[in-house]
Amino acid sequence: MSATIIDGKERAAALRAQVARAVPRFTERTGRAPGLAVVLVGEDPASQVYVRSKGRQTIEAGMESFSFTLDASTTQEELLALVRRLNTDDAVDGILVQLPLPSQIDEHAVLAAIDPAKDVDGFHAINAGRLMAGLPSLVPCTPLGCSILVREQLGDLSGRHAVVVGRSNIVGKPVAMLMLHLNCTVTIAHSRTVDLPGVCRSADILIAAVGRPEMIRGEWIRPGATVIDVGINRLPANGDGKTRLVGDVDFASAVQVAGAITPVPGGVGPMTIACLLRNTLQAASARCGIAFDELMG
Ligand code: GUN
């Protein structure tokens, strides 16, 4: 039997449309559009693609996009000065500093300098702590996208076993916390986990966020499980100089076993930017004392 393919593109388009419908309601009440500032340091080609895409989709949703491209030799002090300026700029509701940063810049120092109320990536320790405590917070975009896809696929998640493979601050830890808040029993597995295939096989919901191309194979998956593949790995294609994108899951074997699975590309990826737009509107609403849920309808 072949798994249901979870269409992240379609789901992301629906979320973007929902945000785009809510933006005029915000603008009507405040006299301005929500604003997102995206900062790119250096010339990493993948980051350039992501940042362009973020800017375009921000504008398409009816929001204001502020884009800052800094030289690869930018000092930490210069970047911190920009972040402080954006923190105090009333037209800016969300600030995103694209990662990775050049080696002369301490990523943690930069993320800590972002006003937590404008931290649309949800990476600030205040937002990470609030998520852990079950308090309202800005939630990292990729984990939020994963949780939306799983909820839409399965409905109530109470008592399901979610296995998260990967323990990064950006995906693994926050997505585990979201699954816990949705009443899953949660296991966080990683490179030192004993019998990783066996642990994966015990999952009702398997979330792969390890950054290892096609590591998780069909034999590691419990028949009928829901598989969410966060990996975006670029591999050389058939020796013709081109590349292809693959996930952390070996799709060809996994699709034979899983109940539902996200493809790469077209699964979790599109949800990330849609959730960024959602977070920007959430931050803008909170800054203006407007009920976000009411705005989203
Ligand atoms: N680089 C790769 N993914 C992300 C992300 O979600 N946010 C930021 N700021 N940088 C990234």
pLDDT at 197: 98
* Assigned domain for 72 exists: yes
Helix (H/G/I), strand (E/B), else coil: 53? helix
Which residue's CA is minimally distant from atom 9 of ligand 1? 98
* Residues of the chain under the 50 pLDDT cut: none
What is the span of the domain harbouring residue 181? Answer: 141-270
pLDDT at 185: 99
pTM metric for this prediction:
0.97
Q: Taking CB atoms and a 6 Å cutoff, what residues make up the pocket around ligand 1?
A: 96-99, 121, 141-142
Q: Which of 115, 121, 204, 229 is catalytic?
A: 121
* Assigned domain for 87 exists: yes
pLDDT at 279: 98
Q: Which CATH number is 79's domain given?
A: 3.40.50.10860
153: annotated active-site residue: no
Q: Are residues 151 and 215 in the same domain?
A: yes
Which residue's CA is minimally distant from atom 2 of ligand 1? 99
pLDDT at 241: 82
Nearest-angstrom CA–CA distance, 117 and 94:
8
**How many domains in the chain?**
2
pLDDT at 238: 78
* Assigned domain for 245 exists: yes
- What is the tens place of the pLDDT at every residue in 103-159? 999 999 999 999 999 999 999 999 999 999 999 999 999 999 999 999 999 999 999
Q: How far is the CA of 198 from the centre of ligand 1 (A)?
A: 31
pLDDT at 239: 75
pLDDT at 135: 98
- What is the tens place of the pLDDT at every residue in 257-281? 999 999 999 999 999 999 999 999 9
Nearest-angstrom CA–CA distance, 230 and 165:
10
Q: Are residues 155 and 262 in the same domain?
A: yes
98: annotated active-site residue: yes
